[in-house]
């Protein structure tokens, strides 16, 4: 039980870091940004990337090794939907990450941000809003096929 609590706690901390960094990126992104902004956004994006990895690792641990039997989650359609949404979240972050890292050492005073970067960041927020609902329903056993 203690191990479950510890992993759950770290899972939540990683989720908060993921959500916080994504919110900051969405607030800070503009059609044009200066050198300092792109450096800061690249740092925030690193935090986002690390947190998404930690959410995955702690979630995987909770699913397969600690807590309820893995079958409780493995055969739940809403849990599988949550995994699909999380995967979508990770995939949608690839292009903005590439953009921030590519431009973090730019010498230009103003850097034009492609509209697709802003769009992908906003879509990620939408996906992020759906995941907790699916997690809540899954934890209540809704969607289970066993």
What confidence score (pLDDT) does residue 107 get? 86
Q: Express each pLDDT in 21-33 by its tens digit.
A: 999 999 999 999 9
DSSP structure string for the chain: -HHHHHHHHHHHHHHHHHHHHHHHHHHH--SEEEHHHHHHHHHHHHHHHHHHHHHHHHHHHHHHTSSS-HHHHHTBHHHHHHHHHHHHHHHHTHHHHHHHHHHTT---SEEEPPHHHHHHHHHHHHHHHHHHHHHHHHHTTTTB--
What confidence score (pLDDT) does residue 146 get? 60
Domains of the chain by residue range: 2-139
Q: What is the pTM of this model?
A: 0.90
Q: Express each pLDDT in 44-77 by its tens digit.
A: 999 999 999 999 999 999 999 998 888 888 999 9
What is the percent of the chain with per-residue pLDDT over 90, rounded to a whole number?
85
């Amino acid at each position: 039980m203690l191990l479950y609590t510890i992993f759950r706690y770290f899972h939540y901390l990683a989720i908060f870091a993921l959500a916080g960094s994504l919110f900051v990126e969405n607030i800070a992104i503009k059609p044009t940004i200066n050198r300092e902004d792109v450096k800061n956004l690249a740092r925030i994006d690193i935090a986002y990337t690390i947190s998404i990895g930690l959410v995955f690792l702690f979630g995987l641990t909770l699913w397969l090794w600690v807590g309820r039997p893995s079958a409780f989650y493995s055969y739940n359609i809403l849990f599988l939907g949550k995994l699909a949404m999380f995967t979508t979240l990770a995939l949608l972050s690839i292009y903005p990450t590439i953009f921030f890292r590519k431009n973090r050492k730019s010498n230009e005073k103003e850097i034009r941000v492609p509209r697709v970067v802003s769009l992908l960041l906003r879509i990620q927020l939408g996906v992020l809003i759906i995941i907790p609902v699916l997690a809540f329903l899954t934890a209540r056993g809704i969607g289970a096929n066993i």
